[in-house]
Amino acid sequence: MGLNYYQIKKQVLKARKLVIKATAAAGSGHPGGSFSMAEILGCLFYKYLKYDPKNPGWEDRDKLILSKGHASPGLFSNMAVAGYFDPKDIVTLRQFGSKLQGHPDLKCPGVEFCGGSLGIGLSYSIGNALAARLDGKNNRIYTIIGDGESDEGQVWEAAMTAAKYKIDNITAFLDRNFIQQDSYTEKIMPLDEELIGNDLSEMWKDASRWKTGDKWRSFGWNVIEVDGHRTEQISDAIRRANETKGLPSIIIARTVKGKGVEHMEDNPQWHGKAPQQDIVPIIEDELESQFMIAPSIIAGDMSNLGKEVERCNEGRADYIHLDVMDGQFVPNKTFDHAEIQKLRPLSLLPFDTHLMINDPVKHVRNYIDAGSDIITVHAEVCDESSFGEICDQLRSNQVGIGLAINPDTDLPQWSYKFAEMLDQIIVMSVVPGKSGQKFIESTHEKIQRITKDLHDHKFDGYIEVDGGVNLENIGACFADGGRAFVGGSAIIGQSDVRMIIKEFRNQVLDSRRRLLIKKAHDLGGTDLVNKWIDLHVVGKKKDGLVQITKELGFQ
């Protein structure tokens, strides 16, 4: 399908919500492992995998083999989003007579492998890959195995076989979420090093412990290691794996079990347990409120933007905000597409190009070609017709579509017609033109209003707040409805970008937790608040939540 970064993220969100719906309805199932591979499936289903949901048996299709079959809710949810069946059917998961069996099954058209008994899928994929080779077909086999599954000796039999036969039409993934049914993988059967104690940071944050990649390399595989929740990294890894000839490739995706829902994250209890129905609305809100931090590099050293891009990489930004100013729409001038093109090879992070220029319709092509992932133009210099033209161009090139408004501008009436296809609205919280200005307080009210308006017009993109965002106001901006935050001097102007981005995230998380506690209280009073808080058993999350609850006067 070849969707862009933003569209993939939206589909991943839809699928995650269906996983919750399905497992809650079934009263059992495996949300944890469905969420750890959510972004992997997102990149496959909406970018790389060739398939036709109306003709599941299409001869030249690619095949997706979910060897870690217990994560079937994740597979089925994406199949529903992709159009294999009506998403309403997802609630029949594990029901008598349903095609949505407890584990992936050929009973459901489009499923390619009966999973469940672990260790089989990679061998089976090799069989399919050999058949494709014999038939001279160019289709690919994508196979997902688990880290707990890697205890099975057969995985390593298959690893040897793939190397012997130089199978290069499989792209395998290891969903390295560090948890298996009984506990953490490094306690049950270490793939890296045995874990003493319960400190997860020992395991997955300390790269010196990682040995799994070496295992695969020593078996003759091309190994690509990525953060398995970063779409841009996964996507790039798949591209590289698919281009690798003469040896098999595996993408080792370091993931978090239960990713997306704080109480499920890194918690072995959620390997195979369904959420209770009264918790579901809170989980849905939590999933809906994903957010992104985007440093704006013009706040840094303009004479060495390449270095600023690298600081964003190291700082684990979600994307990079590129302010293009032409000296006409705004008084200042920054850089143009030529500079973006130069910066592009330095980062996989999505380039969030913000065109503060006149006549954007005349220039947008250059910024597409320069490698932007999303391009935002100003409403002040567009009308319905020129913006329509811009949308068409962006869409046909799989580039995200953004629209920006200045502090004294409201969304023009024509813009609502595009609400459904917009990936992003930038609400300027300073007068654009230069870095380092103070946040305009009335922006809070404006974001709230726009959030509501756009919701009514089926907008499902991100509202990005741009200008003067800092540690003091980011929480409030999130509560208003902001979901992406541009940080100029407050991030890129700091010496430790990684640390400051972490602090930005913590502020947003704190704000989000408050909203969720309020939601729980609205739905079920103190009882539900306490029930929800009690689910947070890993780390010190619970203490923080209790503190917030006290502050809110709910306890």
Closest among 306, 368, 299 to 334, alpha carbons compared: 299
Q: What is the nearest approach in angstroms of other proteins to the Cβ of residue 157? A: 4
- Closest to other proteins by CB, 69 vs 487, is 69
Interface positions, 336-365, toward other proteins (CB under 8 A): none
Which residue, 154 or 409, is less far from other proteins as judged by CB? 154
**From the list 153, 197, 246, 553, which residue makes contact with other proteins (rule: CB under 8 A)?**
153
Nearest CA to 509 out of 316, 325, 269, 261 is that of 261
Assess 120 for contact with other proteins (CB under 8 A): yes
113 belongs to the binding site for other proteins (CB under 8 A): yes
**Cα 100–105–111 angle (5° rounding)?**
90
- Least distance from C-beta 62 to other proteins, angstroms? 12
58, 160, 217, 537: which one binds other proteins (CB under 8 A) = 160
Stretch that binds other proteins, among 152-160, 178-186, 232-240, 271-279 (CB under 8 A): 152-160
Interface segment toward other proteins; rule CB under 8 A; list 78-86, 149-157, 265-273, 534-542: 149-157
Instruction: Check binding of 119 to other proteins (CB under 8 A).
Output: yes
**Residue from 8, 108, 129, 399 binding other proteins (CB under 8 A):** 129
**Cβ pair 18, 275 in contact under 8 A:** no
Interface pick for other proteins out of 35, 45, 48, 124 (rule CB under 8 A): 124
Number of chain positions touching other proteins (CB under 8 A): 30
Please report whether residue 85 would count as binding other proteins according to CB under 8 A: no
Residue type, 88: K
Nearer Cβ to other proteins (101/507): 101
Asked if residues 129 and 167 have their Cβ atoms less than 8 Å apart, the reply is yes
> Which of 4, 125, 185, 443 touches other proteins (CB under 8 A)?
125
Smallest distance from the beta carbon of 212 to other proteins, in angstroms?
A: 20
The single-letter code of the amino acid at 1 is M
Residue 321 half-sphere exposure toward CB, CA atoms < 13 A: 29
**Is residue 234 classed as helix, strand or coil in its secondary structure?**
helix
Binds other proteins by CB under 8 A, chosen from 53, 91, 95, 116: 116
Does position 377 interact with other proteins (CB under 8 A)? The reply is no
**By three-state DSSP, how is residue 400 classified?**
strand
- CB of 130: closest distance to other proteins in angstroms? 6
Cβ-Cβ contacts under 8 Å for 552 (sequence gap 6 or more): 514, 517, 518, 521
Q: Is 51 in the site for other proteins (CB under 8 A)?
A: no
Residue 162 contacts residue 203 (beta carbons within 8 Å): no
- Does 54 help bind other proteins (rule: CB under 8 A)? no
Buried b (16+ CB within 10 A) or exposed e, 393-427: bbeeebbbbbbbbbeeeebeeebbebbeebbbbbb
| Six-digit token string for 91 | 């609630």
Token pair of 180 as six digits: 């298996």
Q: How far is the CB of 121 from other proteins (least distance, A)?
A: 8
Tell whether residue 131 is a contact of other proteins (CB under 8 A).
Answer: yes
> Inter-axis angle of helices 360-369 and 384-396, to 10 degrees?
10
Q: Does 220 bind other proteins (CB under 8 A)?
A: no
Task: Kindly state the DSSP code that residue 331 receives in the 8-state scheme.
Answer: S
Among the residue ranges 107-115, 332-340, 417-425, 547-555, the one whose residues contact other proteins (CB under 8 A): 107-115
User: What are 295's strand-pairing partners?
Assistant: 487
Among 28, 55, 117, 328, binds other proteins (CB under 8 A): 117
- Binder among 134, 196, 207, 338 for other proteins (CB under 8 A): 134
State the alpha helices, DSSP H only, in 135-250: 153-164, 185-188, 200-204, 212-218, 231-243
Burial of 545 (0-12, 13-18, 19+ CB in 10 A): buried
Residue 134 vs 207, nearer CB to other proteins: 134
Tell me the window of 111-119, 288-296, 323-331, 419-427 that interacts with other proteins (CB under 8 A): 111-119
Give yes or no for residue 58 binding other proteins (CB under 8 A): no
> Residue 517's closest CA among 291, 265, 262, 271?
262
Sheet containing strand 249-254, edge to edge, reads 63-66, 141-146, 170-176, 249-254, 222-227
Window 164-203: residues binding other proteins (CB under 8 A): 164-165
Nearest C-alpha neighbor of 397 from the set 352, 360, 367: 367
- Binding piece for other proteins, criterion CB under 8 A, among 100-108, 225-233, 273-281, 514-522: 100-108
User: Rule CB under 8 A: which of 444-503 touch other proteins?
Assistant: none
The first and second tokens of residue 501, run together, are 């981005």
Question: Closest CB to other proteins among 157 and 284?
Answer: 157
SS3 assignment, position 253 = strand
For other proteins, the closer of residues 146 and 468 by Cβ is: 146
Interaction of residue 112 with other proteins, rule CB under 8 A: yes
Which one, 107 or 550, has the nearer CB to other proteins? 107
Residues that bind other proteins (CB under 8 A): 105-107, 112-114, 116-117, 119-120, 123-132, 134-135, 153-154, 157-158, 160-161, 164-165
